[in-house]
């Protein structure tokens, strides 16, 4: 009985390691672009209208993602972002609209370039 409990614990531990390493292999460490896109809910109107104000909580989330331009790009082009009505061309202007001095200017993101 005790051996089977140890076996289950080891198996569970290995499953957790497998899940974490699967997320770590993508554009966004320890997450997926779709999961990160869900965190950008405060950016919804700013990602659909270039004239909309960008809320400070949106800027904070984008700044966090902007440290990894590959992840930011994947999030802006994710299925979740597209299905929520995000216009990638407008969404990619958010770092500039937040006045980030260290934004990834000129980074090629699919068919778009970060301004």
List of domains in the chain: 31-113 (1.10.110.10)
pLDDT of residue 1: 52
* Distance, CA of 12 to CA of 25 (rounded, Å): 20
Task: Identify the residue with better confidence: 81 or 9.
Answer: 81
- Average model confidence (pLDDT) across the chain: 79
pLDDT of residue 105: 79
Please provide the size of the chain in residues. Answer: 115
pLDDT of 16 strictly over 60: no
CA triplet 87, 115, 27: central angle to 5 degrees?
A: 70
Calculate mean pLDDT across residues 36-42.
93
């Amino acid at each position: 009985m005790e051996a089977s409990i140890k076996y289950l614990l080891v198996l569970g531990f290995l499953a957790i390691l497998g899940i974490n390493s699967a997320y770590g292999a993508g554009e966004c460490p320890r997450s997926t672009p779709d999961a990160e896109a869900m965190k950008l809910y405060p950016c919804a109107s700013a990602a659909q209208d270039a004239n909309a104000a960008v809320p400070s909580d949106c800027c904070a989330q984008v700044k966090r993602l902007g440290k990894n331009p590959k992840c930011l790009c994947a999030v802006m082009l994710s299925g979740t972002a597209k299905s929520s009505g995000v216009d990638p061309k407008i969404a990619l202007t958010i770092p500039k609209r937040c006045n980030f001095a260290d934004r990834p200017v000129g980074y090629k993101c699919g068919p778009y370039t970060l301004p």
